[in-house]
Structure 1
Amino acid sequence: MSLPKSENGSTLENAMQLMIQTFHKYSGNEGDKYTLSKAELKELLTTELGNYLGSAQDKEAVEKVMKDLDSNNDGEVDFTEFIILVGALTVACNDFFLEYNDKPEKKK
């Protein structure tokens, strides 16, 4: 999927385009081109979110993420369900960094 070039786009607009492009980079490699299968979701989690999620190699972890995201129980993750994951992870990261930055520094 290609989106119009946004050379004058804001940081947020560029981030939105990257989320759309990233989803479609993995969707449609098998089955419906507008959804993520379990295998596509695993590849996306491992490749794109490995630093935040750790290893997504754990089959049970991928199964749980898939079950939690697949709100309509169709066995696939659509773009809306994907954005819910990204939003939840972003909130968790924000909370972590706020807590991390609020800790008093140790004196040497």
Structure 2
Amino acid sequence: MHYTFKTIVMSDVHTAMALLISSFSKYAGKEGDPHTLSKAELKELLQNELGDLLGKASDKTAVDRIFKELDQNQDNSVDFSEFGKMVFCLTVMCHEYFTKK
């Protein structure tokens, strides 16, 4: 299921939000629930969308660890809220790196 957004002029933050929703939806539900990521779906998302940033997204142990960390409610899936926390943490780390904090 892909979300479509009205063709309107959006701010950069609106665009970023729309892209995050669209990216999550692109991978969620390939194996079932369209509102969550399975471990395989998360691995595909990490490899395709964040491979350069994460580097070890193809390493099964790394993916297992990331999945376990993200799955806060331990329902064996990653919902959008859990995914959003990961994106925010990565964004903070990148901001600190680029601003040399």
The answer for the alignment partner of 2:51 in structure 1 is: 50
Q: Which has the larger radius of gyration?
A: 1
List gaps (5 residues or longer) in structure 1: 103-108
Matched residue SS, 2:44: helix
Write the distance in 1 (CA, Å) between the matches of 2:37 and 2:83: 9
1:55 Cα deviation from its structure 2 partner = 3.2
What code does the residue aligned with 1:66 have? F
1:6 Cα deviation from its structure 2 partner = 4.1
TM-score, with structure 1 as normaliser: 0.88
Q: Deviations over 1:64-99 (max 9, x none)?
A: 000000000011000000000000000000011111
List gaps (5 residues or longer) in structure 2: none
Residue-pair matches, total: 100
TM-score, with structure 2 as normaliser: 0.94
1:8 Cα deviation from its structure 2 partner = 1.0
The answer for the alignment partner of 1:97 in structure 2 is: 98
Q: What is the identity percentage for the equivalent residue pairs of Structure 1 and Structure 2? A: 50
